Amino acid sequence: MISRTYVNGVIAAKEKYFLGEKLLRLTETDAARALRALKESGFGGDSESAENGNFSTDEAETLIAAEEAKTNAFIREYAGSEAEREYFLSPLDSHNVKAYFKAKITGAEAAEMLAPEGAVPLKKIAEAFEKEDFSLLPAYLGAAVKQAENVCENGAAGKGAEVGAAFEKALYGHLLEACKGAGKARRALRGALQEKADLTNLVTALRSSSESAAAKQYVPCGLLSAEDFGFCFAESGELAEKAYNKACAGAGGAKKKALKAAYDLYLNAKETGSVAAAEKRLAETEIRLFEARKYELSGSEPFLYYVLRKKTECANVRATMVCLNAGLKDSEIKKRLRGIWICI
């Protein structure tokens, strides 16, 4: 196994290539100039994009995909444990298996929905669906496909959310199992998973038409039960507060903290008529947890923090280029960026 000291040295050498404040400056220009600036900064490596001074969505996506591929290669080479590899690569596998399942149900082209290759080769996923032999996939993905098939047994129309939930539940369960055991890095990842599960369930509740509909999509990997989100379905503010207080009664410190965070985001959604704040909090979960203690990281944690920053950066570049292409003002673009504090 590669020593952590060596890996941390590699990371220290790569730190200077983060975009940092350059990302914020990209929001203040136009799409063509932003694409050229990314190329000049080394983002995307040797991609041929931005050579002609023009802009196209395909060129921007090619550049971002190249940077994501570099990050995934870094994960495969330098992850300190199977748990770390699984944590970052399994979500790609889950997405890609779900894409093939949707293609099977709808007749669409899977290739148009695929994420970069994760731990499972795309050829292996394609083979599993071609042969309808899902034992070729990791057990948690095979189980997710089976559950999705059960959901669609009497027709797939209107079942998209339940299909998505089948894969989401399987993924969270797999990651929680993979991150069991001692060590600061595994504990940190388990904590992030629990918070993400709670926030995923909150967003689901805020979007759902009823408590029963939300319960079908509930991911049981967090600190909060499906019943704890009852305040999201209260008919008045007073009843919501009562439901919240009831959920808090007898709860321990960690659960009360999770409930308070969820309730505050619920109140924000009610006030603004939007779940954007809750969705952003979900997207920022991991980077926020590691950023808060970045000067205390040890062992494998600097590796985790580096990868999370790279993934956040790629997501922010993608959001920036989409928004620039749509003609949004820089102030609006910056509101959409994740973990913007790491750029300052």
Give the tens place of pLDDT for each residue, 258-279: 999 999 999 999 999 999 999 9
Q: What is the pLDDT of residue 49?
A: 44
Angle at Cα 310 formed by Cα 262 and Cα 46, nearest 5°? 150
Tokens of 94: 């889950």
Which pLDDT tens digit goes with each residue over 158-174?
A: 889 999 999 999 999 99
Which pLDDT does position 54 carry in this prediction?
Answer: 54
Place of tokens 């330098």: 78
The least confident of 94-98, 196-200, 301-305 is: 301-305
Average pLDDT, the chain: 92
Look up the CATH number of domain 1-80+300-344.
Answer: 1.10.132.50
At residue 157, the pLDDT reads 81
**H-only helix segments in the chain:** 4-14, 21-26, 31-41, 57-78, 82-106, 122-131, 139-151, 160-178, 184-207, 211-216, 237-248, 253-272, 276-283, 285-291, 301-325, 330-336
- Please state the domain extents for the chain: 1-80+300-344, 82-180, 185-298
- Are the CB atoms for 232 and 209 separated by under 8 Å? no
Summarize pLDDT for 76-129 with one digit per residue, the tens: 999 989 999 999 999 999 999 999 999 999 999 999 999 999 999 999 999 999
Rounded CA separation 216/211 (Å): 9
Number of other residues whose CB lies within 10 A of the CB of residue 241: 14
Q: What is the pLDDT of residue 55?
A: 57
Contact 317, 62 (CB under 8 A): no
Q: pLDDT tens digit string along 10-68?
A: 999 999 999 999 999 999 999 999 999 999 999 987 555 444 445 567 889 999 999 99
Q: How many of the other CB atoms lie within 10 Å of CB of 106?
A: 10
Q: Which residue has the tokens 């609006």?
A: 332
Give the model's confidence band at 340: pLDDT under 50 very low, under 70 low, under 90 confident, else very high. confident
Residue scoring higher pLDDT (143 or 299)? 143
